[in-house]
Amino acid sequence: MISGELIQRFIKETELFEEKIRAFEAGEIDRKTFKGISGRFGCYAQREKGYMLRLRFPGGRISKEHLTFLGEKTREYPLRLMKITTCQTIQVHNLSASQTVSLMREALCQGIITIGGGGDNPRNVMASPLSGADRREAFDVLPYAEAVSDYLLDRMTELHLPRKLKVAFSNTEENLTHANMRDLGFIANADGTFSVYCAGGLGPNPKMGVLVEDHGRPEDVSLYVSAMLRLFTRYGDYKVRAKSRSRYLQDTLGEEGVKKEYLRCLAEVKKEEMPRPVYCSRPICKTGDSEIEGSRIFPQKQPGLYGVSYHPIGGCLTQKNIMVLCEVLKNIPDAEVRLSPDGTMYLLHLTAKEVPRILEATEGGGENLFETSTSCIGVPICQQGLGCSQWLLARCIERIQKENFSDGVLPRIHISGCPSGCGAHQAASLGFMGCRKKVQKETVPAFRVFINGQAQEPGSRIGREAGCLAEEVIPEFLAELGKTIQKSHKSFEEWLPENNETFLELVKKFQELP
């Protein structure tokens, strides 16, 4: 739990942000200068108009109190578009300058941090969204993620990193947080320890993380983080921004060099620091006495309790979504919300009798694997965006709904609007990355196609590029791909390894279309 003193320090910092956003509005500083300042506060100016503010939720956990706060602000402002991100934050979009400042300060007063949500800072600490509730988990990793989040926030004002730092925890082999593809990642082992990875990352020059510890002590998580901070600041590139992420250390030091230097930093830290305390999650004492089944319902490891999954299309939440959830959850004891990196929202700690109300409140989301696809916000909102990610996903879903494909024939696709990879396209079995290409001497919006990425362990790997398709042909490409796979009576995951050449031929066919 971060201290009131730190909250007040962050609130004091917002005075600088308010000064600079007013200067930007008045045209006194340019967009690039403002971005260099605003990122630290979790804010970016949108491409066309308005601002985005990123709210951090460590481990993706949203308490009922924080959800109530969001509900109140949704009514007050109103907040019409909120996006679940692949770092388990919520981006609030289309704010005015004054709304951005007010929401930032009001969120801080509620313990919801925006500081460090952008720029060269440690980002929201991630954890498997079902930590503490998952029947398959090695152990609950959420307390460790929350302890690391507090540790990094405490050190935020003193840090001067070469670039952003992403830390993730995974509780199962499913590895939804891509922990071994992050700057620092912890994967829970059955023996109660962590496998620790560092200097990985998606985006340009993607790298799998380097395994630096097979059986790390969970109580030492803050020491592992401190060692990573030392490694990154000691060897990171402060001059060439394009090479400033920690994964480039593998190019300069080599994998063995990264491991050697990380362990050297860890030994130093252990001599100088005490581990940050880790507090166990509050036990869930409620029980249920009946059973229920359904496509979006799953049993928790707590006897008699259930969770419900809800995937708003593209991970985009509306004002109505938040208001309805607040109203329904306020009378359900111990209920809480978890955000998944793929844009899914999980509602946990429900009895069978409470589940129907939640199902009714979360109607209208993805109903099959393909409809639960992941997408960044993209053009026309994102400054960096090259592709209209949300538009493309909506058109693809609309086209595929006209077919009668079995669930799984098409996978959950991941769409990133630019090489930054905010849609985690390189960790997906089928991903798309926004770009531009020439078609008949005209430059048009396009997406590079990536295949065969996988987060799940064992076998995690980064996908490879398979071609480049004009944006407008992708829905029909997916429809034809689905028809081909449907004939085999297999899922995409089963079909692809044996039909790689067929897939590449299909990409080539649509790549050559005028």
Using CA atoms, how far residue 257 sits from 10, 183, 199, 239, in Å, is 37, 16, 11, 21
Alpha-carbon dihedral of residues 7, 10, 14, 15, nearest 10 degrees?
A: 100
What pLDDT does 514 receive?
A: 64
3-state secondary structure 314-374: HHEEEHHHHHHHHHHHCCCCCCEEEECCCCCEEEEEECCCCHHHHHHHCCCCCCCCHHHCE
pLDDT in tens, 431-480: 999 999 988 888 999 999 999 999 999 999 999 999 999 999 999 999 99
**Closest Cα to residue 371, out of 392, 394, 388, 391?**
394
Lowest-pLDDT range of 179-183, 230-234, 331-335, 413-417: 331-335
Q: Do residues 379 and 373 lie in contact, with contact meaning Cβ atoms separated by under 8 Å?
A: no
In the predicted structure, residue 388 carries a pLDDT above the cut 90? yes
In the predicted structure, residue 490 carries a pLDDT above the cut 80? yes
What is the residue-averaged pLDDT of the chain? 96
What pLDDT does 248 receive?
A: 98
Please state whether beta strands 167-170 and 126-127 pair in parallel, antiparallel, or not at all (unpaired): parallel
Mean pLDDT along residues 379-401 = 96
In the predicted structure, residue 513 carries a pLDDT above the cut 90? no
DSSP 40-58: GGTEEE-SSSSEEEEEP-G
- Residue 175 φ/ψ region, left for φ over 0, alpha for ψ in the -120 to 50 degree band, beta for the rest: left
Q: Going from the N-terminus, what domains does the chain have, and what CATH number goes with each?
A: 4-109 (no CATH), 126-272 (3.30.413.10), 297-361 (3.30.1370), 370-511 (3.30.413.10)
Element (H, E) at 450: strand 442-451
pLDDT in tens, 84-94: 999 999 999 99
Amino acid in the structure at residue 280: C
Q: Do residues 56 and 116 lie in contact, with contact meaning Cβ atoms separated by under 8 Å?
A: yes
Mean pLDDT along residues 366-381 = 97
Please, which pLDDT band fits residue 289 given cuts at 50, 70 and 90? confident
In the predicted structure, residue 512 carries a pLDDT above the cut 90? no
In the predicted structure, residue 1 carries a pLDDT above the cut 80? no
What pLDDT does 440 receive?
A: 81
Angstrom distance (rounded) from CA 200 to CA 146: 21
pLDDT in tens, 97-119: 999 999 999 999 999 999 999 99
What pLDDT does 312 receive?
A: 98
pLDDT in tens, 321-366: 999 999 999 999 999 999 999 999 999 999 999 999 999 999 999 9
pLDDT in tens, 173-191: 999 999 999 999 999 999 9
The rounded percent of the chain whose pLDDT value lies above 90 is: 95
- Residue 215 φ/ψ region, left for φ over 0, alpha for ψ in the -120 to 50 degree band, beta for the rest: beta
